Amino acid sequence: MTASATVRRALEDYYRDGKPPWDSGVAPPELVALVEGPDAPPPGRVLELGCGTGTNAVYLARHGWRVTAVDLIERAVLQAREKAAASGADVTVLCADATRLDEAGAPGTYDLFFDLSCYCGIPPHRRDAYAEGITRRAAPGARLLMFVYGPEAFDDGVFGATADELRSRFTGWQLTDVTPGTNPFPTFWLTLRRAAEA
C-alpha cells in the first residue's frame, strides 16, 4: 500500500470509529488571532483545505467569511455539512482532493486559505500540485495560515514539512511568520502572504 493510501485509510478509520483526535471542537487560537486580532483582514472569501468535521469552516462563516471547505474523506464531509446546517452557517463543503482543486469545483479567487495539517498528509510528489492550485486561486495579498508537523515528528519521513520547503514550493508568496506549536513534538504555524499585484 502506498503512503497516500495508508494515510487515507487511517483518516477513514478515525472518522468511522468516532471523533478524530485532532478535532477539538473549537477553532485554534492562531486562527482566532488572525480573524479577530488587531490586524485582522476584512472578511472575504476563504478556502479551507482538509476541513474535517467543519469546526473551523463554521467559525469562519460566523465571522463573516464566505467559506468553501474541502476534505478528501466523505464521512468528514458529511459531518461538516451537518455541522454547518445545524449552526445555520453558510458553508460550501466539497469532497475533493486538495491537490486537484481544478476538479473540486472551488474556483478562485480567495483572500484566505486555512490548512490545519492537511499538507502534512500529502505525499511529496503531489505537494507542488497543492501549492500551484492554491496560487492560481489566490487574490493579490492573500494569506495562507498553515499548521504543520516537523519532519522529525514521524518515523516514516513522508509526513511533515519545513519552512524552507514551503518557501521553495510557493512561488510568488512570502513566508511572513513561523511560530512553534505547543505540542510535545515539533509543530509549527506558518503564515504566507501572496504578493500584491502592482
Is residue 12 assigned to a domain? no
What CATH number has the domain bearing residue 91? Answer: 3.40.50.150
What DSSP assignment string belongs to 82-93?
HHHHHHT--EEE
Measure Cα distances from 136 to 7, 45, 82, 105, 161 in Å: 26, 14, 30, 14, 21
pLDDT tens for the 198 residues of the chain, in order:
344 666 667 777 766 777 776 778 899 999 999 999 999 999 999 999 999 999 999 999 999 999 999 999 899 999 999 999 999 999 999 999 999 999 998 887 999 999 998 998 888 899 999 999 999 999 999 999 999 988 776 665 447 888 999 999 999 999 999 998 887 778 899 999 999 874
| pLDDT given at position 3 | 45
| pLDDT given at position 183 | 77
Output the nine-digit C-alpha cell for 81.
455539512
| pLDDT given at position 45 | 98
Instruction: Determine the structural domain holding residue 63 and report its residue range.
Output: 43-172
Is residue 14 assigned to a domain? no
| Residues 6+ positions from 30 with CB-CB distance below 8 Å | 145, 147, 179, 189
| pLDDT given at position 157 | 45
Output the nine-digit C-alpha cell for 28.
485554534
| pLDDT given at position 184 | 74
Is residue 163 assigned to a domain? yes
| pLDDT given at position 14 | 67
Q: How many residues does the chain have?
A: 198
Is residue 71 assigned to a domain? yes
| pLDDT given at position 198 | 41
| pLDDT given at position 105 | 87
Is residue 160 assigned to a domain? yes
Q: How many domains does the chain have?
A: 1
| pLDDT given at position 6 | 67
Output the nine-digit C-alpha cell for 135.
496560487
| pLDDT given at position 156 | 55
Is residue 133 assigned to a domain? yes
Measure Cα distances from 101 to 82, 90, 112, 113 in Å: 23, 20, 15, 13
Is residue 193 assigned to a domain? no
CA distance linking residue 134 with residue 48, whole number of Å: 11
CA distance linking residue 52 with residue 74, whole number of Å: 10
**DSSP label at 153?**
G
| pLDDT given at position 194 | 97
**DSSP label at 195?**
P
Is residue 195 assigned to a domain? no
